Structure 1
């Protein structure tokens, strides 16, 4: 009986140990499930942060490219502005005087002006022109002057039609 009682006590104790073991196993499984859930949450958070980091990196790359483009555009504009200032100064200091002088010194202009001067003279003296209709000749000379084609002006017009007109004017009128 004693053996039976001991066996029953041992069986009872074994049941209790088994029940406690099963309960501990359930607790461990619950903890493992909780840990798995936490790990999955961490994985999702890490993936979200990786996605955010990739977006920020892409945005930073785009911003760097845009900054580079803006810097190149700024440098180009600065260069263009400097060239415009140089061109303006050259035209102010050289071009206008050269153009006016060239037009005034043009052979076509000088011949027409001389003819106008000759035709516009008035005198009471008898000469080879006495009885000649000088007024009509003067009007004809004025009309010829108005229709005068000066090659220098044509050259200037050709230069002004081009995009690099200042450079072309420099070739025509720059000091040697």
Structure 2
């Protein structure tokens, strides 16, 4: 009888032990799954954090570049663009023509006014016969010269438009209009070092 009870106990202990082991294995597996899930989530969070840091660095870099570009445009670029437009050959020739036409129109108007005053004083019949502008529409020529001046395309404005059509337009503008300091020869502004007193 004693052996029978002992063998029953021995059979019951491994059965209970198997249940405990199975339970522990299930718990270990559940924890392993939880750890794997947590590890995946932590890895994903780390990737997102790294991406956020990279995005922040890109934004800071972009902001710094925008600040530098704005400063260059403010201190150099705009002045260089205006200078290029003012010094353009088309601007110079157009203004020369407008000045010439304005001078001609002013001369003709002054000549005719003078003749009018002389005729009042002398009761004579002076005309603009001797004037080189007789029968010349100087006012119309002046208006045409002004219209032509404003309608003439400037090559430098075309280059400027091409620069402004691209994303890195400030870099293109810097190449098109380099800083003045880079162009000045070493030894003095304008290269007139040592010429004072010899005029």
**Which TM class, normalised by the smaller chain length?**
0.7 to 0.9
- Root-mean-square deviation (Å): 1.6
Q: Which piece of structure 1 moves more, 91-100 or 63-72?
A: 63-72
Match of 1:41 among 23, 27, 33: 23
Alignment-derived partner of residue 110 in structure 2: 124
> 2:193 is matched with which residue?
none
Which position in structure 1 is the counterpart of 2:143?
139
Alignment partners' CA distance in 2, 1:40 and 1:111: 99
1:44-83 Cα shifts (integer Å, max 9, x gaps):
0011111111111122222222222222222122111111
Partner of 2:41: 59
Partner of 2:2: 20
Query: Which of residues 101, 106, 110 is equivalent to 2:92?
Result: 110
Look up the SS of the partner of 1:124 in the other structure: helix
How many Å separate the matches in 2 of 1:51 and 1:36?
A: 22
Separation in structure 2 between the aligned mates of residue 54 and residue 76 of structure 1, nearest angstrom: 33
Alpha-carbon offset, residue 168 of structure 1? 0.9
The TM-score, its normalising length taken from structure 2, stands at 0.74
Q: Higher mean Cα deviation, 95-104 or 55-64?
A: 55-64
Question: Residue 159 of structure 1: which of 148, 159, 163 is its match?
Answer: 163
Q: Kindly state the Cα deviation for residue 153 of structure 1 after the two structures are TM-superposed.
A: 0.7
Q: Are positions 1:168 and 2:150 aligned together?
A: no
SS at match of 1:163: coil
TM-score by length of 1: 0.83
Q: Which moved more, 1:121-130 or 1:57-66?
A: 121-130
Which structure: greater helix fraction? 1
Distance in 2 (CA, whole Å) between partners of 1:22 and 1:135 is 137
Aligned residue in 2 for 1:15: none
Write the distance in 1 (CA, Å) between the matches of 2:94 and 2:134: 23
**Deviations 1:110-157 (Å, cap 9, x if unpaired)?**
211122222234232254223311122122112211220111111111
Structure 2 match to 1:10: none
